[in-house]
Amino acid sequence: MLEQVYLDILDKYNTDYALAIKLWKEVEINHSQKKRHYHTLEHLENLYRQLLEIKDGAEDWDCLMFSLFYHDIVYNSLKKDNEEKSASLAEKRMIEIGLEASIIQKTVNIILATKKHLISADVDTNYFIDADLSILGLPWSSYKKYFEGVRKEYAIYPDMIYKPGRKKVLQHFLQMDSIYKTAHFREKFEAQAKANLQKELDFL
């Protein structure tokens, strides 16, 4: 499914099929690395399903799709510049495809916004960062799989280092007046997200 979505988007801007396949393989391989347990193709699939629900309200659907495929294309749990490197690679690939500067810049801005998930003046950015956090509000079984995957990605760190950092992240979200920036995602996920976060915090 994801491959066809990617190829269809690229075909609107560049008819070089060999290039499209090459770029898709890069997306697929990067998201299938053995060290990834949450930031995977499954994460992209969930994000795509969530975004489909707000497609009619999006200002630039193609920007959302390019953001989807490239926002985690570079991911190393030991680094703090994954968003910046992902945005840089996205820019490089979008130039290669031949996209307009305005589309490239908006996509780069959306990817960078996933670093802090702050509310934006841009509606598509808010939709994207909410969809990116949708995992927090899924049923407990899915949420549990998520935080276990995150723990595996940070397996290099012992509990004495990991747990305090994780607690800080959970408390940060719990102290927010609202985790989600848009009415659609707030109504759908806010209550369950707060319950999930508190439950994980209690486990720690």
> Looking at the structure, do residues 45 and 103 belong to the same domain, yes or no?
yes
pLDDT digits (tens, 9 = 90+) for 33-47: 999 999 999 999 999
Q: Could you tell me if 61 and 147 lie in one domain?
A: no
Whether residue 74 is found in the same domain as residue 28 = yes
Same domain, 120 and 146: no
**pLDDT for 45:** 98
| Cβ 90 vs Cβ 29: under 8 Å | no
- pTM of this structure: 0.95
In this prediction, residue 40 carries a pLDDT of 97
Is 170 in the same domain as 94? no
pLDDT digit string (tens) for 135-193? Answer: 999 999 999 999 999 999 999 999 999 999 999 999 999 999 999 999 999 999 999 99
CB 85 within 8 A of CB 93: no
Residues 6 or more apart whose CB falls under 8 angstroms from that of 81 comprise none
Helix/strand number for the chain, H first, E second? 10, 0
- For 186, other C-beta atoms within 10 Å of its C-beta total 16
Do 14 and 111 fall into the same domain?
A: yes
Q: Which domain holds residue 170?
A: 138-204
The total number of structural domains in the chain stands at 2
Same domain? For 113 and 146 the reply is: no
DSSP code for 98 = T
pLDDT for 32: 97
